[in-house]
Copies of this chain bind each other. A is one copy, B any other.
Amino acid sequence: MKKSDNKLQVEDFLATKLRTFARLSERDLACLAELQAKPIQVKRGKELAHEGQAGHAAYILQRGWACSFKLLPDGGRQIITFPVPGDCVGLRSVLLRTSDHTFTALTDAVVSRVEAPKMMDVFNEFPQLGAAILWATSRDEAMVVEHLVSVGRRSAIERTAHFFLELRDRLQLVGLAMNGRYQCPLNQYVLADALGLSAIHVNRVLRQLRERQLLTFHQQTVTIHDQMKLKALAGYDCPDAMPVVIRDAATD
């Protein structure tokens, strides 16, 4: 394991994640590495893709956090999801020439841009890899559904608990969470926009979670103290009945 210089040589979170879904060949891994060979530094707050503009490219988020959201006429916004390292964003706009929301970097970040034709080549030449990528993306979209369930039917505290549990699982996939503890560079305003709450109420909910000794969110660090109780509270299902390894699900 090499992890010495962190100039541009960044740990390949995407590969880490995909390997839990599928067995990847050396060639697959090489392809992944090539896709990410020309990383782009993105400053915090910068927009990656704008609603409507089908940028016709996807991005692999290599380092840092982002968010995708929709704005409302009254200025409010709803955050759809927080891409974390190893996530692909805008894939749908590549496959189908529609881009539906805006992506913004929440922290300074490093991304790789993958043009649509290049991505199509990958799908053709590395079906295993392509299937794994699609699978991971599909999993993310399922999370949007779960998010909808949260916002529609769970109370503020349940919703918040659920959110942090889900985030934990996603980060664990790329090795960014350990023992129910992870870095989370979100502030309470951003959380509020994701959870469909006001920032002030987020604060109150966080206090409750802290007082109940379930979870602490302090100094950009989330610590889960009592996983069992937290899952019970959130109604958090089977940690994602994420089935079997992909064999040949691709376009065979």
Q: B154 to A72, Cβ gap below 8 A?
A: yes
Q: Given A100-B145, A196-B152, do A235 and B139 touch, yes or no (CB 8 Å)?
A: no
Contact B151 A151 (CB under 8 A): yes
Q: Contact string, A175-202, partner B, CB cutoff 8 A, digits 1/0? A: 0000000000000000000011000000
Q: Residue among A72, A148, A195, A241 with the most chain B CB within 10 A?
A: A148
Give Cα A85 to B146, complex, Å: 25
Which size bracket describes the interface of A in this complex?
35 or more
Contact (Cβ within 8 A) A80 B235: no
A77 sits at the interface (CB 8 A): yes
Alpha-carbon distance between A144 and B80 when the two chains are bound, in angstroms: 10
Bound together, the chains give a CA A138 to CA B74 distance in angstroms of: 27
**Do A144 and B144 touch (CB < 8 A)?**
yes
Docked CA distance A148–B151 (Å): 8
Q: Whole-angstrom distance between the alpha carbons of A76 and B154 in the complex? A: 9
A148 x B78 contact (CB < 8 A): yes
- A-B contacts, 25 listed (Cβ < 8 Å): A70-B146, A72-B235, A76-B153, A77-B153, A78-B148, A78-B152, A78-B153, A80-B145, A92-B138, A92-B141, A95-B138, A96-B131, A96-B249, A98-B138, A98-B142, A98-B243, A100-B145, A123-B251, A124-B251, A141-B141, A144-B144, A147-B148, A148-B151, A151-B152, A251-B251
CB contacts under 8 Å to B, within A205-252, are 235, 241, 243, 246, 249, 251-252
In the complex, the answer to whether A149 meets B78 with C-beta atoms within 8 Å is yes
A76 surroundings in chain B (CB, below 8 A): 153
Interface string of A115-126 (1 = CB under 8 A from B): 000001001100
| A45 interface residue per 8 A CB criterion | no
B145 near A96 with CB under 8 A, answer: no
Tell me the residues in window 44-78 of chain A with beta carbons closer than 8 Å to chain B beta carbons: 52, 54, 70, 72-74, 76-78
Query: Given A80-B145, A145-B101, does the pair A96, B153 have CB atoms closer than 8 Å?
Result: no
A135 in contact (CB, < 8 A): yes
Q: How far is the CB of A143 from chain B (nearest CB, A)?
A: 10
In whole Å, how far is A101's beta carbon from the nearest beta carbon of chain B? Answer: 7
